[in-house]
Amino acid sequence: MNAPRPRTLARAPLPPDPRSFIAFGGELGAEIERITEAAVAAGRWRTPEDIHITKAALPLAYWTYKSWNPIVRAMPGSDIEERLEPFRRTRFDLTPDGFEPMSERSMSLSGDLMCTKGLDDAQDRFYEEVSDLIFGVDIAYANLESTLTAGEIAATTFTEDETPKINLTPRQYQTIIGHRGRRYDIVQLANNHILDCGEEGIRTTIAQLRADGIEQVGVNETETDAMRPRITEIAGLRIGWVAHTFSVNFKPFPADKPWIVNMTPMHLMPDPDVSGIEAQVRACREAGCDLVLVSLHWGLEFELYPHPDQLRWAHRFAEAGADAVIGHHPHVAQPVEIYRPESDPSRTVPILYSLGNLTSLISHPSNVASLVARLRLSTGMLGGMRRTLVTGLELTPVALLAERGQTGNTLKLFPATVLLEASGDEATDVYLSEVAGYVDVVIGDGWRAR
């Protein structure tokens, strides 16, 4: 019997960090450079700072520096590392005492899908190492970070006048939306890039998703849609979705459609009003949903721990009736939390602060590692009442790499365990070790033994 062919892995053929598409010029660029030099000289930015996101020089300098020097500690004085330490593992049984299950379903949750270079030539190969993990479930979900457009695909650049646009080509879309006939069932569109091509990009994206039979959450086609709970019926479950983004990158909403994207300005100002999210959670409960899922495009980029405000907000949403909180946007994975709400102790709420990038614009080792979460959704009896609950959570780290072949390199997702295999190339082995180190920060090192 022939031995299996060893993998020949390589770093994905992407820029190592965003400096290749950052072009701040003039006085703003000079001010960013001065701020960065002063911060580094003072030993700052090794831990998070509470800097609200604006287009001013300080937050832009902070963002730029973090993009190639990710922060692996929590905010000083927050105790977040200690609070999340018990959850740095991969498996959780969340079944309450006395629960009698009658049926179970599975759901996969994945992070950001973006217009990664190399996707055009990877269709039906990109997911082949992880296809069952992501698509071998009753319900598959991801955040679709890039829009389609009928217009020209703009270059991804970040200047003093323009935030980066990330738009998919039709071939890239076909690569990331599914694998060999299996597709995501539902994607989130409420994210900071949804208005990169204005209303046209939204309409084009929704039309393609509808043609492919894929549900979307976070974008409203009518004002009436924006005022009522978003409910999907998939795999026999009536699921209420509360999907919001913290920002649309300061792009203007269509003048006559301020309701088109669900947005709550978290991180943009002190003490933003999140009561609208709580109200939507309660509306989903009142509408008789089996489950209510809060999906948020939030968090601070390139930081491996959530902001303290996020813990407060997530707990409020759980108390309001959320069965899970699903997070994405920071471009790195973050630890999870298992929260038991005082309002209903029979529910145990997984809070996934950031799943990370499933695809990435850069190959920095922190950016190519992400988590695929699988939820066990059980319907049964508890205390004489029929309930549907999240009864299990499993986290699988995956990595975006290239596989060398006779006809060139193919961009692919791999289970993170391949990071432990020797490639035979010293530079690649160092890189794979660095990626694995970022996974350890988020979920501990138990995954290495699997």
Q: How many C-beta atoms lie closer than 10 Å to residue 246's C-beta?
A: 21
* Boundaries of every domain in the chain: 18-68, 82-401
Q: How many C-beta atoms lie closer than 10 Å to residue 236's C-beta?
A: 11
Cα–Cα distances in angstroms (integers) from residue 304 to residues 15, 30, 128, 206, 432, in the given order: 21, 28, 28, 32, 18
Contact between 328 and 278 (Cβ < 8 Å):
no
Residues whose CB is less than 8 angstroms from the CB of residue 384 and which lie 6 or more positions away in sequence, other chains included: none
**H/E stretch holding 390:** strand 385-405
pLDDT score for 7: 64
Cα–Cα distances in angstroms (integers) from residue 116 to residues 52, 151, 362, 369, 411, in the given order: 28, 19, 8, 14, 9
Residues whose CB is less than 8 angstroms from the CB of residue 407 and which lie 6 or more positions away in sequence, other chains included: none
Handedness of CA 196, 199, 200, 205 (dihedral sign): positive
The Cα–Cα gap between 101 and 381 comes to 6
pLDDT tens-digit profile of 359-405? 999 999 999 999 999 999 999 999 999 999 999 999 999 999 999 87
Cα–Cα distances in angstroms (integers) from residue 200 to residues 69, 142, 242, 407, in the given order: 36, 22, 24, 37
User: Which two tokens mark 391?
Assistant: 């009864």
Q: Which of 297, 315, 362, 307 is nearest to 335 (CA)?
A: 307
One-letter amino acid at 35 equals I
pLDDT score for 286: 97
pLDDT score for 4: 45
Handedness of CA 147, 150, 153, 158 (dihedral sign): negative
Q: Among the CATH numbers 3.30.43.10, 3.60.21.10, 1.10.10.10, 1.25.40.340, which is that of 82-401?
A: 3.60.21.10
Q: Which parts of the chain register pLDDT below 70?
A: 1-7, 406-408, 450
Q: How many C-beta atoms lie closer than 10 Å to residue 271's C-beta?
A: 6
